[in-house]
C-alpha cells in the first residue's frame, strides 16, 4: 500500500529553501503534519514501513521546538523516507520497466493513494499527473477522470497495416516493425537531429528525427521498434521523416501499428505524453463507468456497452468498432438531450395550469374578413393549430416556422386578438426596436380595417368596434421618454392595455403584466428554455408562440426546440414571384447602379445594404453614413435617399422608415439592421455590398425584403474578392430560392455554432453527435419518447442510473443545457 507523499515533499523542499524558519506552510509544519499523517498512516500496511513511519514522529511532531540544525536533519530524514516509499511503489506499479527506461525523477510521480477515488476524482489522482499537468488539462476543460474518459481524440491515424521494408511506398503513411542497427546524432542544416538505420529481413531504411538529438541515445542497437509515418525519398532512397515510434514489446502499442488517436492539445501537452496517459486511464477506468442506458434500449438500438464504447473511441481495435463506439456515444448525447427537453416540456405544461382561451368565432371572423386578402391554406391550418392550443388548459409551447414573407404576422395578430377577447393580455416581442415599431404599425393597420380608431396617444392606439370594450395596443421601446414609459408600464400592470409590442426587454425586465395570456416572440431563434423560464418566474404561465423565418433544419429544430410543438407555414401568398438573384463582379457595379435607377424611374424602390465591417454598431453606422453621402452626391444626386442604421434614435428610424414606406424616399441605404422583417411591398431591388461576408441565411433574409408585392423583384450581390467558401455561398444563393434548402447548405458550410451566431444559441455541447445525423437523432427522439411514456419521472429503479446521468448533464455543464 502506498501513501501520497507529494504534498509533504513539496512543503519540506520549500522549508529547506527558506532556511528552516517553519514558514513553508501557513499555521506551521506541526499542524500540517497532524492532518497529513493520520490518513497516511492508515494507508501503510507493511509492518516495517509502519515502524519507520512511527520513528519519524510525524503524528506527534514538535518541529517548532527544534533548533535550526535539528530541523535540517529531520527534514532530510523525512524526505529520504518519502523517496524510499515512492520507489517501492514504482517497482510495484511498473512490473515490466521499458528496456530504455529513462529514469523518471521521483518527484514527477504522484504515488497513488487509496483515499476514495472515483471517476469524479480530480485527474491528479492518476499516476503520473502532476498538478502542473492538471493545469494544462484544465485549459482543455478536463478536470476529473470522467472528463478524461470523455476527452476524445479529434481523429485517428491509421497505422494498422504493417508493411515490410521492401513494401514501402513513397508518399504513403506506413508502419513497419524493424531492428535498430545504428543511431547517432546528425546536424542537417545545423539542426540537432537523430539519424538511424533500421531494417527487417527484406531490407534496410533510413530514419530521421529532426530537432531531436536525444533519441540517438534511446535507440540502442538491436532494439526492436515499430515505426509509423510518412515515407519520402531522399537521394533516390526511402526515408522515414520524424515518424512515430515505440519499442516493440509484449504490451499493447500506443503510438504505432494500429489506429492511433490524435488528441486536441494545448501548450505544453504532447501527443506521445497524452496518448500514454490516456491509454493508462482508459485501461484502468473505462471499465468502472456505469452504463446508464436501459438494457432494452441498448438491445433495440444495437449499441455497444458504455465502457467498451469509451475504450474503443480512444484505442479502437478497428474502424468498425471505432464507428460503433461513436454511434453509442453520440446516441447518449442525443438521447439525454431529448429526455431533457421532453422533461422541460412536461414541467412547462404540467406543473402550472395555463389559461385556456376560448375562440371567439365572431370576433375572429370579423377581423379576418376585414383584411384585404384571404389567408393561404397554410396560414389557415396553422391558425387552427394555434387556436386549438390556446383552448387547452396547458400552456401552448409552439414554434412557428415560415419562410420570409409567408405571412406570420397576421396569424400571430389573430391569436393576440383572441387573447384580448378573453380578457387576457398579449405581448409581441421583436428582436430589434425597428421591428417592434414596424409590428406596431402593421398591427394597428390590420386592426384599423375593422375597428374604429378611438383614441390615439403617443405609442398607444385604441380601437372600438371589435370587442365589447375598446382594444388597446401599445408600443414599449427604449426610446420612449421616461415619464411616458412609466405611465404605460403602470397601465400594463393595471390591465388597461391589451397588446404590448416591444423587444425582449419586455419580459426580461421593467414590465409587469396584470394577466399575461400569450407571449409571441418573432424572428428570434434564441428564445430558448431559459427565456421561457423567466416568464414563469414572473408568475405567468402564458401560452408561448415562437416565430422564426430562419428555416431551421429538422435536426436542429428537434435539438434546440425539442420541447416545442412545430407548426410550419409552407406556402407563400399567391402572386409572389421568384426573386431574380445575380452575383456581380466589381466591374459591374456601374451597371448595377444604372439598374437601380431604371427601377426607381419606373416607380419602384431599392435597398442598398452596406458591408458588414465589424460587429460594432458605431463603426457600421459611420461606414453607412459615408456610403450614403457618396451615393447621394456622386451616384444619385437627383434621387431621394434615406439612411438607416442602429445608432439612430427610435424617432429618427421611425421617420426614415415612414418616408421609405410612403414612397417619399427612392433608395434606402442601410446597415444590415434591415435584415429581418421589414416589409415594404413597393421595393423591388435589394443590392448587397460585400455579399460574400454574409451567411446564406442572412442573404436570404435580405432578399426576402423585396418581392413582397406583385412586381418582379431583383437581388444584386456585390463581392470584391470572395474567398472560396464565399464564392460557394454566392453560387448557391444565386440558384436556390428555397429557404429550407439554403439553411441546410448554410449549416453544412458553417457548422451549427456559427449558424446560430454565438454559443449563446443554447446549442448543447455535442462532442460525438453531428447534427447531420438525422437518423440517429430521430432514433434517440423515439427512444426518449418511449421511455418517457413508460416512466416519465424516471422513478423506476432500473432507470435510477439514467436519472442520475440526466441530472448530471443538465445541471453541471455550466448551465449549458439548462
Binding residues (CB under 6 A) for ligand ADP: these are 373-376, 379, 402, 404-410, 549, 573, 679, 681, 708
From the CB of 709, what's the least distance to ligand ADP, in Å?
A: 8
From the CB of 374, what's the least distance to ligand ADP, in Å?
A: 6
DSSP-assigned states of every residue in 773-788: -HHHHHHHHHHHHHHH
The Cα angle at residue 158 between residues 152 and 160, in degrees rounded to 5: 115
DSSP assigned state of 170:
T
Is 646 a binding residue for Mg ion by CB under 5 A? The answer is no
DSSP assigned state of 639:
S
DSSP assigned state of 795:
-
Residue nearest to ligand ADP (CB): 407
Stretch that binds Mg ion, among 87-95, 127-135, 504-512, 676-684 (CB under 5 A): 676-684
Residue 461 or 708: the one with the smaller Cβ distance to ligand ADP is 708
Residue 677 or 707: the one with the smaller Cβ distance to Mg ion is 677
Cα separation of 488 and 480, whole Å?
10
Residue 413 or 462: the one with the smaller Cβ distance to Mg ion is 413
Cα separation of 686 and 683, whole Å?
8
User: First and final CA of the chain: distance in angstroms?
Assistant: 43
From the CB of 570, what's the least distance to ligand ADP, in Å?
A: 12
C-alpha cell at position 740: 429550407
Stretch that binds Mg ion, among 123-131, 142-150, 675-683, 744-752 (CB under 5 A): 675-683
From the CB of 624, what's the least distance to Mg ion, in Å?
A: 23
Is 354 a binding residue for Mg ion by CB under 5 A? The answer is no
The Cα angle at residue 551 between residues 787 and 346, in degrees rounded to 5: 25
Burial of 251 by CB count in 10 Å (0-12 exposed, 13-18 middle, 19+ buried)?
Answer: exposed
From the CB of 380, what's the least distance to ligand ADP, in Å?
A: 9
From the CB of 412, what's the least distance to ligand ADP, in Å?
A: 8
Of residues 66, 2, 84, 70, the one with CA closest to residue 39? 2
234 binds, among Mg ion, ligand ADP, none (CB under 5 to 8 A by kind): none
Is 402 a binding residue for Mg ion by CB under 5 A? The answer is no
Q: Map residue 590 onto helix, strand or coil.
A: helix
DSSP bridge partners of 176: 163, 227
C-alpha cell at position 339: 429526455
Is 229 a binding residue for Mg ion by CB under 5 A? The answer is no
Burial of 371 by CB count in 10 Å (0-12 exposed, 13-18 middle, 19+ buried)?
Answer: middle
DSSP bridge partners of 243: none
Residue 436 or 809: the one with the smaller Cβ distance to Mg ion is 436
Q: Map residue 309 onto helix, strand or coil.
A: helix
C-alpha cell at position 496: 388597461
Specify the residue for cell string 412586381. Answer: 711
Is 677 a binding residue for Mg ion by CB under 5 A? The answer is yes
421 binds, among Mg ion, ligand ADP, none (CB under 5 to 8 A by kind): none
Residue 395 or 677: the one with the smaller Cβ distance to Mg ion is 677
573 binds, among Mg ion, ligand ADP, none (CB under 5 to 8 A by kind): ligand ADP
From the CB of 427, what's the least distance to Mg ion, in Å?
A: 16
Buried b (16+ CB within 10 A) or exposed e, 734-745: eebbebbbbbbb
567 binds, among Mg ion, ligand ADP, none (CB under 5 to 8 A by kind): none
Residue 243 or 402: the one with the smaller Cβ distance to ligand ADP is 402
From the CB of 757, what's the least distance to ligand ADP, in Å?
A: 19
Buried b (16+ CB within 10 A) or exposed e, 150-185: bbbbeebbebbeebebeebeeeeebbbbbbbeebee
708 binds, among Mg ion, ligand ADP, none (CB under 5 to 8 A by kind): ligand ADP
Residue 176 or 557: the one with the smaller Cβ distance to ligand ADP is 557
375 binds, among ligand ADP, Mg ion, none (CB under 5 to 8 A by kind): ligand ADP
DSSP assigned state of 198:
E
From the CB of 677, what's the least distance to ligand ADP, in Å?
A: 6
404 binds, among ligand ADP, Mg ion, none (CB under 5 to 8 A by kind): ligand ADP
Residue 270 or 373: the one with the smaller Cβ distance to ligand ADP is 373
Cα separation of 631 and 376, whole Å?
40
Is 431 a binding residue for Mg ion by CB under 5 A? The answer is no
From the CB of 371, what's the least distance to ligand ADP, in Å?
A: 8
DSSP-assigned states of every residue in 270-306: -HHHHHHHHHHHHHHHGGGS---S-HHHHHHHTPPPH
406 binds, among ligand ADP, Mg ion, none (CB under 5 to 8 A by kind): ligand ADP
Residue 562 or 739: the one with the smaller Cβ distance to ligand ADP is 739
Cα separation of 240 and 173, whole Å?
10
Is 405 a binding residue for Mg ion by CB under 5 A? The answer is no
Q: Dihedral (C-alpha) 764, 769, 773, 775: value to the nearest 10 degrees?
A: -100
Give 476's contacts (C-beta < 8 A, 6+ positions apart): 459, 485, 488, 489, 492, 500, 501, 502, 506, 510, 511
DSSP-assigned states of every residue in 540-553: ---EEEEEESS---
From the CB of 677, what's the least distance to Mg ion, in Å?
A: 4
Residue 112 or 700: the one with the smaller Cβ distance to ligand ADP is 700
Is 762 a binding residue for Mg ion by CB under 5 A? The answer is no
C-beta of residue 632 within 8 angstroms of C-beta of residue 615: no
From the CB of 644, what's the least distance to ligand ADP, in Å?
A: 18
Residue 240: in which H helix or E strand, if any? strand 237-241
DSSP assigned state of 634:
I
C-beta of residue 196 within 8 angstroms of C-beta of residue 219: yes
Residue 400 or 730: the one with the smaller Cβ distance to Mg ion is 400
410 binds, among Mg ion, ligand ADP, none (CB under 5 to 8 A by kind): ligand ADP
Cα separation of 254 and 161, whole Å?
15
405 binds, among ligand ADP, Mg ion, none (CB under 5 to 8 A by kind): ligand ADP
From the CB of 612, what's the least distance to ligand ADP, in Å?
A: 22
C-beta of residue 646 within 8 angstroms of C-beta of residue 620: yes
From the CB of 141, what's the least distance to Mg ion, in Å?
A: 39
C-beta of residue 476 within 8 angstroms of C-beta of residue 504: no
681 binds, among ligand ADP, Mg ion, none (CB under 5 to 8 A by kind): ligand ADP
C-alpha cell at position 315: 484505442
Stretch that binds Mg ion, among 13-21, 49-57, 332-340, 677-685 (CB under 5 A): 677-685
From the CB of 261, what's the least distance to Mg ion, in Å?
A: 48
Is 407 a binding residue for Mg ion by CB under 5 A? The answer is no
Residue 216 or 414: the one with the smaller Cβ distance to ligand ADP is 414
From the CB of 537, what's the least distance to Mg ion, in Å?
A: 28
Residue 542 or 677: the one with the smaller Cβ distance to Mg ion is 677
From the CB of 604, what's the least distance to ligand ADP, in Å?
A: 16
**# chain residues binding Mg ion, by CB under 5 A:** 1
Residue 61 or 413: the one with the smaller Cβ distance to ligand ADP is 413
Residue nearest to Mg ion (CB): 677
If you count them, how many residues does the chain have?
A: 818
Residue 344 or 653: the one with the smaller Cβ distance to Mg ion is 653
212 binds, among ligand ADP, Mg ion, none (CB under 5 to 8 A by kind): none
**List of E strands, 468-532:** 471-476, 499-503, 516-521
Residue 410 or 733: the one with the smaller Cβ distance to ligand ADP is 410
Cα separation of 702 and 734, whole Å?
13
Residue 410 or 802: the one with the smaller Cβ distance to ligand ADP is 410
Q: Contact positions toward Mg ion, by CB under 5 A? A: 677
Amino acid at each position: 500500500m502506498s501513501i501520497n507523499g507529494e504534498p509533504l515533499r513539496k512543503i519540506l523542499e520549500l522549508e529547506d529553501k527558506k532556511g528552516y524558519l517553519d514558514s513553508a506552510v501557513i499555521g506551521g509544519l506541526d499542524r500540517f503534519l497532524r492532518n497529513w499523517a493520520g490518513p497516511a498512516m492508515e494507508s501503510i500496511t507493511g509492518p516495517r514501513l509502519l515502524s519507520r513511519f512511527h520513528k519519524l514522529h510525524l503524528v506527534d511532531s514538535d518541529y517548532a521546538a527544534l533548533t535550526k540544525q535539528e530541523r535540517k536533519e529531520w527534514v532530510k530524514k523525512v524526505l529520504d523516507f518519502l523517496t524510499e516509499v515512492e520507489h517501492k511503489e514504482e517497482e510495484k506499479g511498473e512490473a515490466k520497466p521499458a528496456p530504455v527506461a529513462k529514469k523518471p525523477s521521483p518527484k514527477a510521480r504522484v504515488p497513488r493513494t487509496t483515499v476514495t477515488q472515483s471517476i469524479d476524482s480530480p485527474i491528479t489522482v492518476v499516476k503520473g499527473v502532476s498538478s502542473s499537468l492538471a493545469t494544462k488539462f484544465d485549459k482543455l476543460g478536463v478536470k476529473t477522470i470522467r472528463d478524461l474518459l470523455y476527452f476524445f481524440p479529434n481523429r485517428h491515424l491509421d497505422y494498422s497495416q504493417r508493411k515490410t521494408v521492401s513494401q514501402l511506398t513513397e508518399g504513403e503513411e506506413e508502419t513497419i516493425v524493424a531492428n535498430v542497427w545504428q543511431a547517432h546524432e546528425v546536424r542537417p542544416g545545423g539542426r540537432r537531429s537523430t539519424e538511424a538505420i533500421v531494417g527487417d529481413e527484406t531490407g534496410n531504411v533510413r530514419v530521421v528525427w529532426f530537432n531531436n538529438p536525444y533519441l540517438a541515445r534511446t535507440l540502442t542497437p538491436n532494439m526492436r521498434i515499430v515505426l509509423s509515418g510518412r515515407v519520402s525519398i531522399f537521394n533516390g532512397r526511402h526515408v522515414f521523416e520524424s515518424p512515430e515510434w515505440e519499442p516493440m514489446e509484449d504490451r499493447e502499442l500506443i503510438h504505432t501499428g494500429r489506429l492511433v488517436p490524435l488528441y486536441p492539445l494545448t501548450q505544453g501537452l504532447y501527443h506521445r505524453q497524452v496518448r500514454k496517459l490516456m491509454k493508462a486511464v482508459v485501461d484502468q477506468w473505462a471499465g468502472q463507468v456505469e452504463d446508464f442506458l436501459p438494457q432494452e434500449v441498448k438491445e433495440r438500438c444495437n449499441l455497444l456497452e458504455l465502457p467498451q464504447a469509451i475504450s474503443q473511441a480512444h484505442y479502437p481495435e478497428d474502424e468498425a468498432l471505432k464507428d460503433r463506439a461513436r454511434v453509442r456515444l453520440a446516441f447518449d448525447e442525443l438521447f439525454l438531450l431529448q429526455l431533457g427537453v421532453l422533461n422541460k416540456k412536461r414541467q412547462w405544461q404540467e406543473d402550472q395550469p395555463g389559461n385556456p382561451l376560448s375562440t371567439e368565432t365572431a370576433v375572429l371572423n370579423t377581423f379576418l374578413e376585414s383584411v384585404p386578402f384571404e389567408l393561404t391554406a397554410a396560414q389557415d391550418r396553422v391558425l387552427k393549430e394555434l387556436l386549438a392550443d390556446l383552448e387547452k388548459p396547458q400552456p401552448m409551447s409552439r414554434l412557428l416556422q415560415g419562410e420570409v414573407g409567408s405571412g406570420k404576422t397576421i396569424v400571430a395578430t389573430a391569436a393576440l386578438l383572441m387573447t384580448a377577447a378573453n380578457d387576457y393580455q398579449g405581448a409581441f416581442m421583436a428582436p430589434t426596436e425597428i421591428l417592434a415599431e414596424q409590428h406596431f404599425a402593421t398591427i394597428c393597420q390590420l386592426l384599423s380595417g375593422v375597428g374604429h380608431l378611438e383614441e390615439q396617444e403617443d405609442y398607444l392606439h385604441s380601437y372600438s368596434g371589435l370587442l365589447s370594450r375598446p382594444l388597446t395596443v401599445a408600443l414599449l421601446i427604449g426610446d420612449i421618454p421616461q415619464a411616458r414609459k412609466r405611465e404605460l408600464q403602470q397601465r400594463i400592470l393595471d390591465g388597461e392595455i391589451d397588446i404590448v409590442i416591444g423587444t425582449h426587454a419586455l419580459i426580461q425586465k421593467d414590465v409587469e403584466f396584470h394577466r399575461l395570456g400569450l407571449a409571441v416572440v418573432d424572428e428570434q431563434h434564441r428564445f430558448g428554455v431559459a427565456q421561457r423560464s423567466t416568464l414563469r418566474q414572473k408568475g405567468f404561465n402564458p401560452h408561448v408562440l415562437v416565430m422564426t423565418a430562419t428555416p431551421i433544419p429538422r435536426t436542429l429544430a428537434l435539438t434546440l426546440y425539442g420541447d416545442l410543438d412545430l407548426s410550419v407555414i409552407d406556402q407563400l401568398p399567391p402572386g409572389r414571384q421568384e426573386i431574380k438573384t445575380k452575383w456581380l463582379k466589381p466591374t459591374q457595379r456601374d451597371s448595377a447602379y444604372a439598374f437601380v435607377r431604371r427601377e426607381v424611374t419606373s416607380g419602384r424602390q431599392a435597398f442598398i445594404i452596406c458591408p458588414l465591417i465589424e460587429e460594432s454598431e458605431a463603426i457600421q453606422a459611420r461606414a453607412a453614413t459615408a456610403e450614403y453621402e457618396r451615393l447621394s452626391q456622386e451616384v444619385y444626386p437627383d434621387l431621394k435617399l434615406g439612411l438607416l442604421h442602429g445608432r439612430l434614435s427610435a424617432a429618427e428610424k421611425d421617420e426614415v422608415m415612414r418616408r421609405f414606406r410612403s414612397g417619399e424616399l427612392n433608395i434606402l441605404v442601410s446597415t444590415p439592421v434591415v435584415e429581418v422583417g421589414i416589409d415594404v411591398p413597393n421595393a423591388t431591388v435589394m443590392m448587397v455590398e460585400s455579399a460574400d461576408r454574409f451567411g446564406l441565411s442572412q442573404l436570404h433574409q435580405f432578399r426576402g425584403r423585396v418581392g413582397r408585392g406583385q412586381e418582379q423583384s431583383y437581388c444584386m450581390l456585390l463581392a470584391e474578392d470572395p474567398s472560396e467558401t464565399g464564392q460557394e455561398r454566392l453560387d448557391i444563393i444565386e440558384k436556390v430560392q428555397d429557404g429550407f434548402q439554403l439553411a441546410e447548405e448554410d449549416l453544412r458550410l458553417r457548422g451549427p455554432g456559427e449558424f446560430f451566431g454565438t454559443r449563446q444559441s443554447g446549442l448543447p455541447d455535442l462532442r460525438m453527435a453531428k447534427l447531420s445525423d438525422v437518423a440517429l437523432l430521430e432514433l434517440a427522439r423515439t427512444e426518449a419518447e418511449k421511455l418517457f411514456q413508460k416512466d416519465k419521472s424516471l422513478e423506476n429503479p432500473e432507470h435510477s442510473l439514467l436519472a442520475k446521468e440526466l441530472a448530471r448533464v443538465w445541471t453541471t455543464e455550466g448551465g449549458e443545457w439548462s
